[in-house]
Amino acid sequence: MNSPTSPHLPASQGGTPVRAKFLPISVPWIGEQEKQLVLESLESGWITTGPKTADLACRIAGLAGTKHAVCVNSATGALHLALEAMGVGPGDEVITSPYTFVATVNVIEHVRATPVLVDIEPDTFCIDPAKLAGAITPRTKVVITVDYGGHPCDYDAIRAHTQPRGIRILNDAAHALGAAYKGKPVGSSALADVTAFSFYATKNLTTGEGGAAVTDDAALAERISLLSLHGMSRDAWKRYTDTGSWYYEVVAPGWKYNMSDVAAAIGLGQLERFDEFQERRARIVARYHAGLGDCELVRLPGARANVTHAWHLFPIGLELEKLAIDRGRFIQELRAENIGTSVHFIPIHYHPHFRDSLGLGPGAFPVAEDAYSRAITLPLFPRMSDADVDDVIAAVRKIATAFRR
Ligand SMILES: *Cc1c(COP(=O)(O)O)cnc(C)c1O
């Protein structure tokens, strides 16, 4: 039979798209449990920070293996308050990665400290411990590690540089809830002094918007908690219940970063299936590896032997030298095949603000820049079916083959 279109021809050139229906890069999976718990909160008469937020904090501390957890309205808020609580301010330097979401670096500016960027490792896209040593000065107060995509940084190698100098580690673990390094859960004080998680809509566990800071340090936890609600010395829900008191004192000009019980209810529902979510992510990754492992036109992300990867992202790297199109065009072609993708991340120093404030241009971080030029993040979320995964594999192979140089 003669078909007017060919399955091998890119959809952008009139071929049949791999999928009829668009596949987004990530979709949250909200189940009956989440709906039930949200309803319970709505009907309880207590919808802001209260018992559900406290319950979620306990469970996040349990997952992260820490004594304390403070739930807030975003990972950005958790990172900001952690820097405040650690006393970071003007004149201090904070080292982090250029291959991250802007929130990681914005918070350094929020406390009027100076961001110092250090290039990443080519395999994990995490901060390169060997290069970290050269960026440390007497002013370095904190290193913000970023467990990129859910792969923990090399904490032993990082701590070999920071610990002797009394430099603290704040982990931006927005991608890494459920990950582990040498058997220690991300969050553990063996890795970082404070760890921030994100419960944004696309993250491995969501509350719609939300985040948490975890730590073993009671004083830091107390300070983060205080600063998350105006610097008031008592939580509102304790004030207004009959066991509490109307009295409070403001001991610092804090922020309004508290989590609502409606959001916490979503998180509590999600937590019941979190292990299942993580297992599904790992199975999808295995399917991607099986389906694309032999394709010489793309590089696949891996996990080092000593980590448990949280698999928040599946970023492939195009072998640009073997392709006739660039990354931007490859994304357009996948879009025409009805596959949604994204790029994680635009290097920090490529953004006009940081380019100007840090005075850095292209060439400053060759590994991050090279990774960025090749990067495409493929769909990865627990609700994807095996058929969805196979469509992504087919589309990547189709476009790579069609545009082989
Ligand atoms: C999503 C993300 C954040 C911000 O999380 P929010 O909860 O939206 O504030 C911070 N860092 C990284 C690396 C992220 O991907």
Q: Where are the domains of the chain?
A: 11-25+274-341+379-402, 32-272
Domains 11-25+274-341+379-402 and 32-272 are alike in CATH topology: no
Q: Is the CB of 200 under 6 A from ligand 1?
A: yes
Angular region, 294: left φ>0, alpha ψ -120 to 50, beta rest: alpha
Placement of tokens 């079916």 in the chain: 385
Give the burial class of 333: count Cβ atoms within 10 A of its Cβ; 0-12 exposed, 13-18 middle, 19 or more buried: buried
**260: phi then psi, degrees, rounded to nearest 5:** -90, 155
Phi-psi group of 338: left, alpha or beta (phi > 0 → left; psi -120 to 50 → alpha; rest → beta): left
Closest CA to 44 of 272, 264, 354, 284: 264
Instruction: Answer with the residue of higher pLDDT: 7 or 185.
Output: 185
> For 329-384, how does the pLDDT look when each residue is reduced to its tens digit (9 = 90+)?
999 999 999 999 999 999 999 999 999 999 999 999 999 999 999 999 999 999 99
> Would you say residue 319 has pLDDT above 50?
yes
Q: Is the pTM of this model over 0.85?
A: yes
C-beta of residue 383 within 8 angstroms of C-beta of residue 29: yes
146 lines ligand 1 (CB under 6 A): yes
Q: Which two tokens stand for residue 217?
A: 């340090």
Ligand 1 contact via 198 beta carbon (within 6 Å): yes
Q: Write phi, then psi, for 360 (nearest 5 degrees).
A: -120, 140
- Which tens digit of pLDDT belongs to each residue from 374-391? 999 999 999 999 999 999
Q: Verify whether residue 203 is a known catalytic residue.
A: yes
Band (1; pLDDT cuts 50, 70, 90): very low
What is the per-residue DSSP string for 172-235?
E-TT-TT-EETTEETT-TTT-SEEEEE--TTSSS--SS-EEEEES-HHHHHHHHHHTBTTBSS-
Is any ligand 1 atom within 6 A of the Cβ of residue 103?
yes
The whole-number pLDDT of residue 369 equals 98
CA distance 263 to 314: 27
Identify the DSSP state of 405: -
What is the predicted pLDDT for the residue at 240?
65
Pick from 367, 314, 376, 304: which is nearest to 98 by CA? 367
Q: Classify domain 11-25+274-341+379-402 by CATH number.
A: 3.90.1150.10
Among 94, 96, 86, which residue's Cα sits nearest to residue 147?
96
- How many angstroms does the Cα of residue 112 sit away from the middle of ligand 1? 20
What are the pLDDT digits (tens) for 234-288?
755 566 666 667 888 899 999 999 999 999 999 999 999 999 999 999 999 999 9
Which of 83, 101, 195 best tests ligand 1's pocket when mutated (most atoms within 8 Å of CB)?
Answer: 101
The answer to whether the beta carbons of residues 223 and 194 sit under 8 Å apart is no
The answer on pLDDT for 61 being more than 70 is yes
CA–CA separation, 55 and 268 (whole Å): 8
Between CA 230 and CA 248 the distance in angstroms is: 11
H or E, element range at 15:
none
Residue 111 CB partners (closer than 8 Å, separation 6+): 80, 83, 84, 88, 89, 92
187-205 pLDDT, tens per residue? 999 999 999 999 999 999 9
- CA 160 → CA 18, 88, 163, distances in Å? 49, 21, 6
Contact 230, 250 (CB under 8 A): yes
Record: fold of 32-272: Aspartate Aminotransferase; domain 2 (3.40.640)
Distance 79 CA to ligand 1 centre (A): 9
Q: What is the pLDDT of residues 158-175, one digit of tens each?
A: 999 999 999 999 999 999
Among residues 184, 203, 322, 398, which one is catalytic? 203
Q: For residue 2, what pLDDT is reported? A: 40
What is residue 7's predicted lDDT score, i.e. its pLDDT? 75
The residue to which tokens 């975890």 are assigned: 214
Own/partner long-range contacts of 335-338 (Cβ < 8 Å, ≥24 apart): 336/10, 336/11, 336/12, 336/17, 337/10, 337/11, 337/17, 337/18, 337/19, 337/395, 337/398, 337/399, 338/11, 338/17, 338/18, 338/19, 338/20, 338/21, 338/22, 338/23, 338/395
CA 198 to ligand 1 centroid distance, Å: 6
